[in-house]
Amino acid sequence: MEYPFEQIEKKWQKIWSDKKIFNAKNNTDKKNYYVLSMFPYPSGALHMGHVSNYSIADAITRYKMMQGYNVMQPMGYDSFGMPAENFAIQHNSHPRITTDQNIEIMRKQFDMMGFGIDWEREVSTCHSDYYKWGQWFFKKMYEKGLAYKKRSFQNWCDNCQTVLANEQVEDGKCWRCSSVVRQKELEQWFFKITEYAEELLDFSGVIDWPERVKTMQTNWIGKSFGTEIWFRMEDSEDLIKVFTTRPDTIFGCTFMALPPEHPLVTNWLKLKEEPENSKMHKFCDKIMNEDTINRTSEDTTKEGIFTGRFAINPVNGEKVQIWITNYVLMDYGTGAVMAVPAHDQRDFEFAKKYDIPMKLVIQNPEEKLILEEMKEAYTEPGILVNSDNFDGLESTESMTSISEWMTENNMGKVTITYRLRDWGVSRQRYWGNPIPIIYCEDCGTVLVPDEDLPIKLPENVQLGKTTQNPLLSADDWVNVKCPKCGKPARRETDTMDTFVDSSWYYARYADPKNNEMPFSKELADNWLPVDQYIGGIEHAVMHLMYARFFHKFMRDLGMVNSNEPFARLLTQGMVTKDGAKMGKSKNNAIDPQYIVDRYGSDTVRVFMLFASPPDKDSEWSDEGVKGAFRFLNRVWRLFEENLELIKNISVTLSDPAMPDRIEGSDNKLCAEIKKLRYSTHFTIKKVLNDIENRMQFNTAIAAIMEHLNNVYSIKNVETLNVAEKVIFVESCVAIPHLMYVFAPHLSEELWKIIGEENLLHEAGLPKFNEKYLIQDEITYVIQIMGKVRGKINVSVDATDDEIKKLALEVENVTKSLEGKEIKKMIIVPKKLVSIVAK
């Protein structure tokens, strides 16, 4: 017989919902705890990745409720974005309709899982009561000088007249029409995240973030100390600024490398002597259309073209050739590189290929370098040569003095550079948040006034007619009066990156229905920072960094007090099947709905949490799900078989006089019951520790399984004396009490049928008694030269000498030591005896 999971789960879901136990209160005596899962993109149905994510979050939610916190676990939908737009086009519908339908389905599935979500705080980013505040934030960014427009290069398909994401470019061709993709320079809106680069490197405001996420973000920001050096053009006053981390090699610079995107290059290409079909034009076009990952790859052949122009090295007045190359990026540093072929491998390869002069300026102190014989660049530290007054200095030490000297003589300055680039937020798409800007011929760029917010997306657009941004053809919407002068003007048609929506949603949950502001400061500070944030590792850098940036921005606006949005972070692993990520593209997805219908939500939760630690990938297994179901059935049967006994005794368990009576009767307890009592208290201790300190649900569940096996090993329950029966019942009751966080429906039901009045989250965490964890004997392992040769049981208070004596008496030990001399004996307390013998 299977336990009636369907009936039980529906019943308790209704009770929880009716009693509103998951509706977080804004004002209580209890301490607040905010559990947040990354909100889902409403793709139509929950997948296993969601189930895994929310099972973890729900376990934490219920654990914290048992601990007595006022817990908030909200939910919402990240509902703007390209997939919804494409889906609507394919199905000849509108993204608003399909998105709302999808949300409806997902909401039902959340309920079927029984997650403890506070539905009164639900948000959806595509609803105007939410995106209004995204527009409001854009205006604030603009007012603070943090939103600005600049030209930047984007993947462009001429045929579709649209920008393409990197993932929409397949082998350099458009995914839709297969025409060749080129790089086009477009005016785009940016947020100045670089302004916060330094602060984003500081993680002192977070409590418990995985080291690897911090490292990835730190590397992404990529701070480096170096020197900016100013080269003058030979025949004009134009300056070329270069950034280098190796000012010690400046005297060895023999050429300069520019990317084709460099403004100087752009200017030169516009000159009359460079017709459209010139070599330089062709070269630049070719390089710009390669994708940047390939361009910077070390394997890529270095290519370049000599511009025929020269710059002057400020330190020695030497002429250096100016080249356009494929291996320098406009986005990093100053977008120009001083090339020192003798001491940089990329420059070395390039100089060899194009026969550019080299100059040795750092000599290897170990083995003298001869320029003509070098097979690769010498990049190690050494002694400066050919460097005027700096000759003879150690190269690493010379960096400071060279930089200082250059600063004094107006040749450059010491500077810090970040790899981090400003955040491009412009998207040429319909299904996103409109940027609140109006362009007027007379007044220029004008912000939309607050009273005109939200700018609602026009409904009557033609999706899929053209591949361009559909907003361009929404004439009624685009043509507006200038808010300043009233003359005809045009709206900005770009919408915002959806990462903007997801950068502050966690704060909106604190005050989701506010019509006056994004949220009130009081309520935000009441809940923020999020105590526990849970989501996929794929967001380690972008989403998590944008949200940190936004939070700091909101703090600087005086909207929140905290410095960080997420105090603790758990990055959960993927759900895989046959070693590959589960998903539509691999055609290996398992539908959670089907599994819940067959086995119930508790089974799915227990399986997902048991399959692996939350931060590791977990492999789906149909048989494993059955195993989880079997386990829950075993728990159910234990209570079914012993119901009368448990009911009768569990009532007296809460009688304060009971523990004393039991304790007094220790000598009447048989050995296996004493063991069972140890198991109960040990399991409680282990489960609490695994959840609280290690977030390791798989071992917590394993411990409960082991304990259940121990309970089942008591065969003669009827013949036990009263004291023994009490201990037996205690061992049973501990099971639903501990399992509430993993299998809440089943646990709640068992708790009820044994006669408990309150709900489990009100019962508090189970308690263990250290007294029952004391063991009178300890097993010591005996090792000889690191190999196990025997075991001894020793009383806890045995002295080292007694242990040594006993160890040497073990038969197998004596045998192994024959003909050997004992050099040393090491005793590790409560663990082992190690004998060194030769």
Partner RNA sequence: GCGAAAGUGGCGGAGUUGGUAGACGCGCUGGCCUUAGAAGCCAGUGAGAGAAAUCUCGUAGGGGUUCGAGUCCCCUCUUUCGCACCA
Residue list 302-331, contact with RNA (CB under 7 A): 331
CA angle, residues 75, 612, 623, in degrees to nearest 5: 100
Report how many residues bind RNA under the rule CB under 7 A. 103
Name which position in 25, 282, 465, 831 contacts RNA (CB under 7 A). Answer: 831
**Would you say 510 and 524 are in contact if contact means Cβ atoms under 8 Å apart?**
yes
Binding mask 336-375 for RNA (x = CB under 7 A): ----------------------------------------
Output the smallest distance, CB 231 to RNA, in A. Answer: 25
Strands 304-312, 362-363: pairing is: unpaired
Residue 371 or 785 having the CB closest to RNA: 785
User: Binding mask 590-629 vs RNA (x if CB under 7 A, - otherwise)?
Assistant: --------------------xxxx--xxxx-x-xx-xxx-
- The Cα 458–Cα 308 span in angstroms is 53
Nearer to RNA, 38 or 453 (CB): 38
Restricted to residues 755-784, the positions that interact with RNA (CB under 7 A) are 779, 781, 783
Contact set for RNA, span 809-828 (CB under 7 A) = 812, 816, 824, 826, 828
Q: How many residues are recorded in the chain?
A: 838
CB atoms within 10 A of CB 490: 14
CB-nearer residue toward RNA: 40 or 116? 40
CB of 619 to RNA, least distance (A): 4
From 198-206, 496-504, 587-595, 750-758, give the range in contact with RNA by CB under 7 A. 496-504
Window 539-578: contact mask with RNA (x via CB under 7 A): xxxxx------------------------------x----
Binding mask 221-260 for RNA (x = CB under 7 A): -x--------------------------------------
Q: Which stretch binds RNA (CB under 7 A): 93-101, 311-319, 532-540, 641-649?
A: 532-540
User: Judged by CB under 7 A, which stretch of 50-58, 339-347, 426-434, 522-530 contacts RNA?
Assistant: 426-434
Pick one of 371, 722, 788, 796: the residue that binds RNA (CB under 7 A).
788
71 phi and psi angles, rounded to 5 deg = -100, 140
Given a contact cutoff of 8 angstroms between Cβ atoms, the answer to whether 230 and 415 are in contact is: no
Nearer to RNA, 285 or 619 (CB): 619
Q: What residue type is 455 in one-letter code?
A: I
Burial, 60: exposed, middle or buried (Cβ in 10 Å; 0-12, 13-18, 19+)?
buried
Among 24, 360, 377, 537, binds RNA (CB under 7 A): 537
Alpha helix (H) ranges present in 740-778?
A: 744-753, 760-763
* CA neighbours closer than 13 Å in the CB half-sphere of residue 69: 16
Place of tokens 């369907």: 6
Q: Which of residues 159-178 bind RNA (CB under 7 A)?
A: 163-168
CB of 829 to RNA, least distance (A): 10
Site for RNA in 404-423 (CB under 7 A): 419-421, 423
Q: x/- binding map, residues 286-305, to RNA, per CB under 7 A? A: ------xx--xxxx------
**Residues of span 205-224 touching RNA by CB under 7 A:** 211-212, 215-216, 219-220, 222
Report the residue number, 47 or 359, with the smaller CB distance to RNA. 47
DSSP assignment of 27-84, as one string?
Answer: S-SSPEEEEEEPPPP--SS--HHHHHHHHHHHHHHHHHHHTT-EEE---EE---SHHH
Judge residue 355's burial from the number of C-beta atoms within 10 Å of its C-beta, 0-12 exposed, 13-18 middle, 19 or more buried: exposed
Q: Which is nearer to RNA, 773 or 785 (CB)?
A: 785
Residue whose entry in the numeric block shows the structure tokens 């600024």? 241
Q: Pick out residues in 629-648 that bind RNA (CB under 7 A).
A: 630-631, 633-634
Contact map string, positions 456 to 495, toward RNA, x by CB under 7 A: ----------------------------------------
717 binds RNA per the rule CB under 7 A: no
Stretch that binds RNA, among 280-288, 481-489, 507-515, 692-700 (CB under 7 A): 692-700
In the region spanning residues 263 to 282, those forming contacts with RNA, defined by CB under 7 A, are none
Distance CA(382)–CA(397), nearest Å, equals 10
Beta bridge partners of 463: none
> Of the two residues 515 and 693, which places its CB atom closer to RNA in the complex?
693
Of the candidate residues 37, 428, 503, 532, the single one contacting RNA (CB under 7 A): 428
Cβ atoms 84, 431 nearer than 8 A: yes
Helices 744-753 and 622-641 meet at what angle, rounded to 10? 10
Q: Based on CB atoms, which residue is closest to RNA, 412 or 790?
A: 790
Question: Whose CA is closest to 681, among 592, 775, 809?
Answer: 775
Tokens of 529: 């920072």
For CA atoms 779, 784, 786, 787, give the dihedral sign. Answer: negative
Residue 464: what residue type? G
Structure-token pair, residue 336: 């120009």
Query: What is d(CA 87, CA 107) in angstroms, rounded to the nearest whole number?
Result: 20
Maximum distance among all Cα pairs of the chain, rounded to whole angstroms: 106
